[in-house]
Amino acid sequence: MKRFLPQRLPDHLLIDTFAAFSRAKIWAEHFLPPNTLKTSKPPHFPRSPRHWFDPASLQFRLTVGVTTFSVLGLGGISSWTSWKMQEILVNTHTENITYLAERFPQDVQIYHESFPMQESLQFAIDKAPPNVLIWVETENSEIIAQSQAFENIEPALRERLFSLNEMPKEPEVYQVDRRYLVLCSDVLAVQNRTLGQVRMVQDITEDQLMLNRTMQGLRIITLLAIVLLAAIIAWYIKRSLRPLRRISQIASTISANDLSQAKMTLDKAPTEVKELAEKLNEMLSRLGLSWEQQRQLIGDISHELRTPLSVTYGSLQCIQRRGTSLNEMQQELLGTAISETDRTIQLLQSLLDLARADNSCTYVRSETLLLNDLVADVAKLTERGRNHCIKVEAEGDIWMTTDRNSLSQILTNLLDNAAKYSPPDQPIIVTLSQSEHDTLIEVRDYGCGIAPEQQERIFDRFYRVDNARSRATGGVGLGLAIVKTLVESMDGKISVWSQPEEGSSFKVTLPCQLHH
Ligand code: ADP
């Protein structure tokens, strides 16, 4: 036997092993970036807050923009109409008064050719329309002639009018004691003799109040129109954005597994959105094809590398067992080669498990099983392999219809981790319970625990909390990624609670019935 043993460690064997390991590692890092290969289940896309007052949303911006322009447009038209109506009203009356004011001295002069001044003034005043009040005031504020209509108006208003000192030369509308009056005053000169001031007043309160009421109505109608328009605009924009929302809904349901079959089919969408959907479909089928090729490659390479590496591992172990003539350095190198080869084989096995987990939707085989038995079997195997005490606590017999292989793999990984990351004298407790629809499996350990900031990331591919520690325990950072992928492929959920130095608890919730 001895003569077959090499005196020196065969260099080519070591080189082959390291080369194979490096190849596997490079390949894994290249083809399996931690964040690109995600689970086979559609990932959970957090819904963006889509409510009316999300100022960043297109719907909100379009609605506010279009409504603002409409409000400005309608408001502008309404204001312009009110202003124009007011102007027409005022112009009509002021033109009338202007005409009277211009004619008055001429009339007085004509009458004065036949009558005394006082009578001429009165005749000219009486000639004016009854709704225009006229009085003539001397420089001493003495009223020498006035309209007869003054007798019919309230004394207070009469006093108020007579007491007005400053009146405009050009007719203007004033509000005097809740009445709207067109006022004007001018010097009255007849035959080059200044008699005083002729003052004219026309009461337009009725017309002004009617105009005010019309404008009030116009304002209410404009307001109602704005509200109605805003509602119609909001509804129309929401409806127009529906195809885009549909695209994001479809996109959120597409998983890595159905990339190539995924299709964004939109009926009655605008041409631009249809074009976008077509381009997305083309992109999806390209991505699907390359994802499929990549997955195929992962499976093939893992498989191809595992066999020669297993042979290498066996050979190295054989050399170690029989290599009594190896010096210390050779022993050390051989030990390193064996442990690295073992790690690489584990990595390849995990990759194969992951590829299988990614495909678990396709290869699922559901059967009805007694969970207590399955857990007990897996616990026994782990106890044997890891030399740990595992206690199983269950609320009676728990039956469920599920995929046995996937569930075994989940339990194996969780129990393996619990054993790896807790001291051997601490127990691991598996608790099983069941509600009407769900089965709960909790794996609790009293080990080193996980820091809160790491807990989110431990389910990522190739993520290890502490590389040195995981290396020592033989982990490659894929165990929990496989568990998560499998749990989600079985429509379940996984959560973790952990406190550093107090231990960890992984809770898996699975439906009692697997629907595939
Ligand atoms: P590994 O193969 O390195 O164990 P896993 O994906 O199984 O990879 O776990 C990822 C990381 O989560 C590990 O590196 C480890 O630090 C941490 N972890 C997982 N399970 C436990 C546990 N029960 N207790 C403490 N840490 C854990």
Q: How far apart are CA 415 and CA 390, in angstroms?
A: 9
What CATH number is attached to the domain comprising 431?
3.30.565.10
Res. 410: pLDDT tops 70: yes
Residues 89 and 23 grouped into a single domain: no
Pocket test residue of 32, 345, 421 for ligand 1, highest count of atoms within 8 A of CB: 421
Nearest protein CA to atom 12 of ligand 1, as residue: 458
pLDDT score of 510: 95
Q: Is the CB of 503 under 6 A from ligand 1?
A: no
The phi and psi torsions of 462 (rounded to 5 degrees) equal: 65, 15
Average pLDDT over residues 114-126: 91
Asked if residue 115 belongs to a domain, the reply is yes
Task: Tell me: do 377 and 335 sit in the same domain.
Answer: no
Q: Quote the ligand 1 centre to 464 CA distance (angstroms).
A: 6
Contact by Cβ (8 Å): 395, 434: yes
**With 0-12 CB in 10 A as exposed, 13-18 as middle and 19+ as buried, what is 283?**
exposed
Note whether 182 and 171 are within 8 A (CB): yes
Residue 53 belongs to a domain = no
Domain assignment of residue 201, yes or no:
yes
Q: What is the pLDDT of residues 268-322, one digit of tens each?
A: 888 898 899 999 999 998 998 888 888 888 888 888 888 899 999 999 999 988 8
| pLDDT (average), residues 131-154 | 88
Mean pLDDT (whole number) for 392-413: 92
Q: Is residue 245 part of a domain?
A: no
Pocket flag, ligand 1, residue 477 (CB < 6 Å): yes
Are residue 343 and residue 370 in the same domain, yes or no? no
Does 359 reside within a domain?
no
Total number of domains in the chain: 3
CB 168 within 8 A of CB 94: no
Domain check: are 70 and 198 in the same one?
A: yes
Long-range contacts of 389-395 (CB under 8 A, 24+ apart): 389/427, 389/428, 390/415, 390/419, 390/427, 390/428, 390/429, 390/430, 391/427, 391/428, 391/429, 391/430, 392/430, 392/432, 393/429, 393/430, 393/431, 393/432, 394/431, 394/432, 394/433, 395/432, 395/433, 395/434
Could you list the residue range(s) of the whole structural domain that residue 419 is in? 365-511
* Residue 477 near residue 410, CB atoms below 8 Å: no
Looking at residue 292, its pLDDT comes to 82
Residues 277 and 341 in one domain: yes
421 is a domain residue: yes
Sheet hosting strand 390-394, strand order edge to edge = 390-394, 428-434, 438-445, 503-511, 493-499
Please give the distance, rounded to the nearest whole angstrom, from the Cα atom of residue 461 to the centre of ligand 1.
Answer: 11
Is 208 found in the same domain as 67? Answer: yes
Say yes or no: CB of residue 200 within 6 Å of ligand 1: no
Closest CA to 434 of 379, 516, 513, 515: 513
Instruction: Assess whether 72 and 150 both reside in one domain.
Output: yes
Helices and strands: H and E segment counts in the chain: 14, 12
Mark whether 348 and 386 lie in a shared domain.
no
User: What's the token pair of residue 252?
Assistant: 């959120």
Q: Please, are residues 493 and 459 in contact by the beta-carbon 8 Å criterion?
A: no
The residue whose two tokens read 């290249």 is 30
Closest protein CA for atom 21 of ligand 1: 417
Residue with tokens 């990331």: 457
User: Residue 447: CB within 6 Å of ligand 1?
Assistant: yes
Report which of 433, 430, 377, 432 is spatially closest to residue 408, judged by C-alpha positions: 377
Given the structure tokens 């005022």, which residue do they identify? 90
CATH classification at residue 125: 3.30.450.20
H or E element at residue 157: helix 155-162
Final residue belonging to a domain, choices 154, 179, 212: 212
Read off the pLDDT of residues 357-384 as tens digits, 9 standing for 90 and up. 777 655 567 899 999 999 999 999 999 8
Ligand 1 near 428 CB (within 6 A): no
Q: How would you write 457-506 as a 3-class SS string?
A: CCCCCCCCCCHHHHHHHCCCCCHHHHHHHHHHHCCCEEEEEEECCCEEEE
With a 6 Å cutoff on the Cβ, whether 234 touches ligand 1 is: no
Tokens of 402: 């599920």
Gap from CA of 500 to ligand 1 centroid (Å) = 13
Cβ(421) – ligand 1 distance below 6 Å = yes
Which residue from 450, 462, 482, 506 has its CB within 8 A of the most atoms of ligand 1, so it is best to mutate?
Answer: 450
User: Counting atoms of ligand 1 from 1, which one is nearest the CA of 475?
Assistant: 2
Please tell me whether residues 499 and 407 are part of one structural domain: yes
Task: Give per-residue pLDDT as tens, 155-207.
Answer: 888 888 888 878 888 888 888 878 888 999 988 888 888 888 999 998 889 88
- Range name among 13-22, 412-421, 487-496 with the lowest pLDDT average: 13-22
The per-residue pLDDT of the chain, averaged, comes to: 84
Indicate if ligand 1 lies below 6 Å from the C-beta of 410. no
What average pLDDT does range 433-450 have in this prediction?
94
pLDDT band at 51 (very low <50, low <70, confident <90, very high): low
343 CA → ligand 1 middle, Å: 16
Residue 416 and residue 431: Cα distance in Å, rounded?
A: 16
Q: Are residues 199 and 313 in the same domain?
A: no
E-strand stretches of 384-478: 390-394, 399-403, 428-434, 438-445
The whole-number pLDDT of residue 360 equals 61
Query: Of 181, 212, 243, which residue is a domain's last?
Result: 212
Residue 45 has pLDDT above 50, yes or no: no
Q: Over range 501-514, report the average pLDDT.
A: 91
Among 85-94, 318-327, 471-480, name the one with the lowest average pLDDT.
471-480
What mean pLDDT comes out for the span 453-457? 91
pLDDT for 432 beyond 70? yes
124 CB under 6 A from ligand 1? no
Burial of 218 (0-12, 13-18, 19+ CB in 10 A): middle
Is the Cβ–Cβ distance between 386 and 420 less than 8 Å?
yes
Residues 338 and 380 in one domain: no
Residue 229 lies in a domain: no
Distance 465 CA to ligand 1 centre (A): 7
Q: Is 459 in the pocket of ligand 1 (CB under 6 A)?
A: no
Ligand 1 pocket: which of 465, 476, 483 to mutate (most atoms within 8 A of CB): 465
Between CA 285 and CA 291 the distance in angstroms is 10
Q: Are residues 36 and 80 in the same domain?
A: no
Phi, psi of 273 (to 5 degrees): -70, -35
d(CA 101, CA 291): 95
Residue 448, in any domain of the structure: yes
How many angstroms does the Cα of residue 480 sit away from the middle of ligand 1? 7
